[in-house]
A and B are shown apart, each in its own frame.
Chain A
């Protein structure tokens, strides 16, 4: 089986400081990879380098494209990489405001990716927007409301709908449940899990919340100071942590 994403020795420095160093992993179709670690451990840097938002200093990111097979994303011409970014890839930001156009209606937000790949029929675009709003549990009569009129949880769901409408194969998520209260978090996680399973998506989820990866991720990478210090199956890492830092992380979770 060809891996969907094959990452080798990805390195990013900020001057003399390390962003992330020598990160390697493979991601297979339908698999969800969790990346956990404390603040400043390089999780977000890694995600941004993978998604092409930042240029890494070294390494390779090989993605299995639909038409041409495995290709190195980093050496790809920019138009192709950006095309990938709005068709086969999706990026869910921690703050929904970063991923949404706040002055454009919900329907327009969902339709943007469709129009970006050439949809030019208003009726069809609107129909698909409403369909996707429904899938993320937003009522159809909110289609013309601006995201500013939505609650935080709804904004996050809208962002997910906007990203998944073109049927991507790989979703990058940066703290998708950050800043939401626990009951909304639980529903959002349920929703993401359902969508990921139903659409057969692969996903890379960056979070500091161990409960999120326990629910979503098949495999887990633990990062500290820009390095991957432990990786393996989620349950295995969380139930039997080997590295001292992972043990600290797991034992730091507050119990109710």
Chain B
């Protein structure tokens, strides 16, 4: 079978229309989880089937595509999804955040601020922020509909009473445009302030069959208490490679005698800073 046997970007046109309708509804109602008929994709659930379907519905032949996995362009998940769309859509791919028009991400927001015209697609494992507090889907839907979000604060209360601070470090719940409480996918809470962005942000959950969105310049507030305000914490180190002090860092174990180094998790940001440093 040749690559031409696939429709552009793998999915057939009717499926892409269905997904686009869900995306448009999601953008019209920021933070609301829109159900959609998620398809089988040629990869297992949990590997980004939701994100891939959203990307497929957004891509045009003129787009430049970038995939990051925990900030890195060169890990298995990122490489295979990038190759998948290179093959099935024939779009240009890049590792540069600034050059990309569609960026699919797993659990990070690029450090470089995004601009309008860019689309950021998140892979979401569990779209329902209330899931572990209220197991019934019928009940969580009702709670969203009636804006009953007291329970979300019970979780934060438990964090403080047990650990002395809000210890939720990723998938930190946010309120979108003063209405829906949303799970921003498991991005570190360090990234939460950057959810207010000029780019369109789309969230796809393949297994859970939900799509939701944050339109550009939408107000996104991280939930907190008056006396325990939201804190986008970060490791107290600079990047060992590029020296950046304001980025989210990965901790790497370098030997078996306790040696470790902290480096930017966003590989493209780190590399371009080093290039700029060498050029200067």
User: Which residues does A use to contact B, with CB under 8 Å?
Assistant: 78-79, 82, 86, 101, 104-105, 107-108, 111-113, 115-118, 120-123, 125-126, 143-144
Contact = CB atoms under 8 A, between A and B. Distances in A.
B150 A108 contact: no
B154 interface: yes
Contact of A144 (B148, B161, B228): B161
A86 B146 CA distance: 13
A210 B113 CA distance: 70
Given A120-B226, A121-B225, A101 B154 contact: yes
Contacts of A116: 148, 150-151
B225 A105 contact: no
Interface in B137-167: 146, 148, 150-151, 153-154, 157-158, 160-162
Contacts of B153: 115, 120
A132 to B, nearest CB: 15
Interface residues of B, number: 15
A96 B162 CA distance: 23
Interface string B109-152: 00000000000000000000000000000000000001010110
Interface of B: 146, 148, 150-151, 153-154, 157-158, 160-162, 225-228
Given A82-B146, A82-B148, A112 B162 contact: no
A107 B153 CA distance: 13
Contacts of A123: 227
Given A120-B226, A144-B162, 20 more contacts: A79-B146, A82-B148, A101-B154, A104-B158, A105-B161, A105-B162, A108-B154, A108-B157, A112-B150, A112-B154, A115-B154, A116-B148, A116-B151, A117-B150, A120-B153, A120-B225, A122-B160, A122-B226, A125-B157, A144-B161
A107 B161 contact: yes
Nearest to B132: A103
A110 to B, nearest CB: 10
A50 B151 CA distance: 25
B140 to A, nearest CB: 14
Given A121-B225, A122-B228, A123-B227, A111 B148 contact: no
Contacts of B148: 82, 116
The secondary-structure label for the interface of chain B is helix
Which of A112, A115, A118 neighbours the largest number of chain B CB atoms within 10 Å of its CB? A115
Contacts of B226: 120-122
Contact of A105 (B146, B150, B158, B228): B158
Q: Which of B160, B161, B162 has the most CB of A within 10 A?
A: B161
A111 B160 CA distance: 13
A108 B227 contact: no
B227 A122 contact: yes
Contacts of B161: 105, 107-108, 126, 143-144
B146 A115 contact: no
B146 A104 contact: no
Contacts of A107: 157, 161
A101 B226 CA distance: 24
A99 to B, nearest CB: 15
B157 A111 contact: yes
21 contacts: A79-B146, A82-B148, A105-B162, A107-B157, A108-B154, A108-B158, A108-B161, A111-B154, A112-B150, A112-B151, A115-B153, A116-B150, A118-B150, A121-B226, A121-B227, A122-B160, A122-B225, A122-B226, A122-B228, A123-B227, A143-B161
Contact of B150 (A78, A115, A143): A115
Contacts of A101: 154
Contact of B146 (A78, A108, A121, A125): A78
Contacts of A111: 154, 157
A24 B102 CA distance: 65
Contacts of B157: 107-108, 111, 115, 122, 125-126
A122 B161 CA distance: 9
